[in-house]
Amino acid sequence: MAINKNHISKKYNAKKFIAYFQNYTNTYFNINKFKKMINQAIDEDIVAIYISTRPDCIDDEQLEYLKKVKEKYKIDIVIELGLQTANYKVLYNINRGHGLAEFIDAVIRCNNNKIDICTHIIIGLPDDKDIDIIETAKIISALKIQQVKIHALYILKNSVFGKMYESGKLETIGKDEFIDRVILFLRYLDPSIVIQRLIGRSSEEDSLFSNWSTSWWKIQDEILNKMTKNGYRQGDLFNYLIPKRSK
């Protein structure tokens, strides 16, 4: 971690840092190893810890420990949970390994321990429709999730999807359709939710298909320009939850 901080501080003149446990499932340990991992990340210039994991791989003992760390060191702690889609049938078909219920349960337990959540979704999954995009936005909003990262579907070499793609059994949506679905998702999403990413990316050497061979920032600009042109904004269709009644 010291090497990374040194590199980033020189390149960006950074003074404060986020410790990001990104790759793989970072709660798939016993509690002692998990505590050691978190403790090694705590430093005076660390202002937040982000932990990427699966909804079905985080337990209450880990969350209770993270709550204590957050309170003791006054740092932000965020759990990154991959939902991908609220369509439980699609989750089953892509062999995600968990359903919608497991995601909801994980969110409730994080909320009970005052741990913020960043949810990842994928737009362009096989058999996902516009109604699934809308329902995903609604569920994320109803659960009071704090942050979201959006990804386009990319297809890796030597994967199940890769073999389907090469054989013509899997078709991807077009770039314009992706942009329209991102905008649809944003319009139904609670405007207080932070959007950390509008589109991800993968390395060209590992991918059969990624972002229509277009730079991620160009697609991001297209999304923002289309929203501006049409007068759309995040949450302008966020009118489906019962408002709090004044006493």
Task: Report the pLDDT averaged over residues 14-23.
Answer: 90
pLDDT exceeds 60 at position 6: yes
Confidence tier at 92 by pLDDT (50, 70, 90)? very high
3-state SS of 77-135 is EEEEEEEECCCHHHHHHCCCCCCHHHHHHHHHHHHHCCCEEEEEEEECCCCCCHHHHHH
What's the confidence (pLDDT) of residue 29? 87
Closest by alpha carbon to 211, among 223, 222, 199, 221? 199
What's the confidence (pLDDT) of residue 246? 47
- The 10s digit of each residue's pLDDT in 45-83 is 999 999 999 999 999 999 999 999 999 999 999 999 999
Please give the model's pTM, rounded to 2 decimal places. Answer: 0.92
On whether the CB atoms of residues 25 and 54 are closer than 8 A, the answer is yes
